Amino acid sequence: MVYHSSFVDEEGITKACGCPLLPLKSHIKGPAPSSGQDQTDIVDEAITFFRANVFFRNFDIKSSADKLLIYLTFYINVALKRLEGCRTLAEGTKAIINLGLENVPVPELLRNYLKQIREETSGRLLSVAYRHNGTPNKWWLAFAKRKFMNIIVP
């Protein structure tokens, strides 16, 4: 059974193109509302559920937050592919920063939110994809070869 987002209560949440602008516990400037540092946000969910969800070929969307979870799952998949060839944390950081800064062709508010959430996901992903000594974590980078929903991402 695929893991869905727990952010199903959408009351008071701003949306852009049907995508909720969920709160983030982030220091990165952008349109996302702030979340408490002790609370789980959508980035935490995406990273936590990634290794389980990536095995599924279908994803039944139960809330608009699931759309964001799917987007982040694809983003993490692309990020791991970029990190796969990086042998040090410094190389990985450079590769993932460049990925997070790539432009997404969508309306401005959603573009700014997606840019903010990609940068936040990138930073948190580095902390699980590399060990404390800066070497790659093969138990994470092995998932770079997985196809989420049977789709190959560049």
Q: What CA–CA distance (Å, rounded) separates 118 from 82?
A: 14
**pLDDT band at 46, cuts 50/70/90?**
very high
The answer, yes or no, to whether residue 153 has pLDDT greater than 80, is no
Q: What global pTM score does this model have? A: 0.73
Copy the structure tokens of residue 119.
């940068």
What are the Cα distances from residue 153, in Å, to 49, 59, 62? 18, 17, 24
CATH code, 59: 1.10.1760.10
Say if 56 falls within a structural domain: yes
Residue with tokens 């937050």: 65
**Count of the separate structural domains present in the chain:** 1
Q: Helices 42-53 and 108-129 sit at what angle, rounded to 10 degrees?
A: 60
Assess if residue 6 is contained within a domain.
no
* pLDDT of amino acid 124: 92
Residue 107, helix vs strand vs coil: coil
Domain annotation covers residue 111 = yes
Average pLDDT, the chain: 88
In a domain, residue 36? The reply is: yes
Report d(CA 146, CA 144) in Å as an integer.
6
The residue segments making up the domain with residue 84 are: 15-145
pLDDT higher than 70, residue 154: no
Rounded Cα gap, residues 124 and 126, in angstroms: 5
Q: Is residue 90 a part of any domain in this protein?
A: yes
In the structure encoding, which two tokens stand for residue 21, read together? Answer: 């602008």
Cβ neighbours for 122, distance < 8 A, ≥ 6 positions apart: 79, 96, 97, 99, 100
Q: What's the average model confidence in pLDDT over 25-42?
A: 88
The residues facing 61 across adjacent strands are: none
pLDDT at 107 over 80: no
Residue 43 lies in a domain: yes
Q: Is 131:89 a contact under the CB 8 Å cutoff?
A: no
- Decide if 152 is inside a domain: no
pLDDT digits (tens, 9 = 90+) for 16-27: 888 889 999 988
Give per-residue pLDDT as tens, 62-86: 988 998 999 899 889 989 999 998 9
Residue 62 lies in a domain: yes
